Structure 1
Amino acid sequence: MEWMLLPLRRYARFSGRARPKEYWMFALFLILAAIVISIVETMLGLNVTQRWVDHGPWWVDAGYRTQAGPLTGLFVLAMFIPQLAVSVRRLHDTDRSGWWLLLILLPLIGGIILLVFFIMSGTRGANRFGPDPIEVGEPELIRRS
């Protein structure tokens, strides 16, 4: 649980490095929180669900479209800066500048490249962005934040 919330304690810290464990545990936290918020919004009737039916000459297609409610919007807004900061620190761990995040603007290929960067292990030893978080040690890393 500490690793999930560590990026929230480092809310807008863009300097330094983030281990893969810190990044992926925060991603898991975001997914779990989004699921819980979605369930709460559905129970409270805050989201909008539309049923649609499309009739063509030879087929009928139907489905549901759900738009998120205000709680999801507030959550996304609150988590934007920590997600951005932990992503920049994760790129720093692979000895890349945070400007590499702009690859997300390239459809499909940019997201795949960033996914590979986030999965890669960090550079061993100190790099231009700071000391290796593994060498510093997990307990020390959590205490310093």
Structure 2
Amino acid sequence: MSEPTIAVRPPMPQECPQCGLLNPSTAIRCDCGYDLLSRPQSKAPVVGWRALLFSFDGRIGRATYWRFFGPYMAIGAALAFVDWLLDTRMTKGGGMFAVVFFVAALYPSIAASVKRCHDRDHSWLFMLLGFIPIANLIVLFELGFMPGTPGPNRYGLPEAGTTAAAR
């Protein structure tokens, strides 16, 4: 009986961040002189509340997205209920408290959604589908339930601390 053979992949070459040359995985220095061992390890960014609410740069995972939108929806629903109880209807549309809250929270909700689009490797223009009936369900499904792209994409590294389940 013959021994089973195990295919071994050769180590992946590493790209020099200075010149872009592919080097063997065992290389210490690139031909351009760059020291590959002193290469800084890229760290995933930690998204703080200020960046979450007011910046359009970077990425956030599903868990962070729902940590923002869960309270956002709960506060909006509670204020709509208070408006109903106090009969604070405006001439057309919702009650005064809910309208003020949703107007104040508009910019932060757009910022969080743009970062979630980036995590799915979409441009902010993807959110415009939300204005089209039925297509808005696709936006909700993509942003709320689909995992982000693994590893870096054109919008940066994934949010620090996100596991594959929370991406």
TM-score with structure 2 setting the length? 0.59
What residue identity is the alignment partner of 1:96?
Answer: H
Distance 1:7 1:86 in 2: 10
CA distance in 2 between partners of 1:25 and 1:105 (Å): 24
Q: Which residue of 2 aligns with 1:38?
A: 80
Among candidates 113, 116, 119, match of residue 138 of structure 2: 113
**Match for residue 82 of structure 1?**
108
Q: Please name the residue that 1:58 is paired with.
A: none
Q: 1:7·1:26 contact (CA, 8 Å) conserved in 2?
A: no
Tell me, in whole angstroms, the C-alpha distance in 2 between the residues paired with 1:46 and 1:8.
32
1:137 matched to 2:161? The reply is: yes
Cα RMSD (Å) of the superposition? Answer: 2.2
Does 1 or 2 have the higher relative contact order (CA < 8 Å, sep 6+)?
1
Q: Aligned partners of 1:89 and 1:16: how far apart in 2? A: 6
Q: Distance in 2 between matches of 1:77 and 1:44?
A: 20
- Quote the sequence identity (%): 29
CA deviation after TM superposition for structure 1 residue 72, in Å: 1.1
| Structure 2 residues without counterparts, runs of 5 or longer | 1-47, 163-167
Q: Which amino acid aligns with 1:10?
A: L
Deviation at 1:7, TM superposition (A): 5.5
- Structure 1 pair 38–93 and aligned structure 2 pair: CA distance change class (3 A): same
The structure having more radius of gyration, on CA atoms, is 2
The structure that is strand-richer by fraction is 1
User: What's the secondary structure of 2:53's corresponding residue?
Assistant: coil
Higher percent of residues as helix: 1
Q: Report if the CA contact (8 A) 1:7-1:86 is conserved.
A: no
Instruction: Give the AA of the match of 1:37.
Output: L
3-state SS of paired residue (2:54): coil
Task: For 1:1-145, list aligned pairs within 5 A.
Answer: 10-47=52-89, 67-108=93-134, 110-118=135-143, 119-133=145-159, 136-137=160-161
- For 1:16 and 1:7, how far apart are their aligned partners in 2? 13
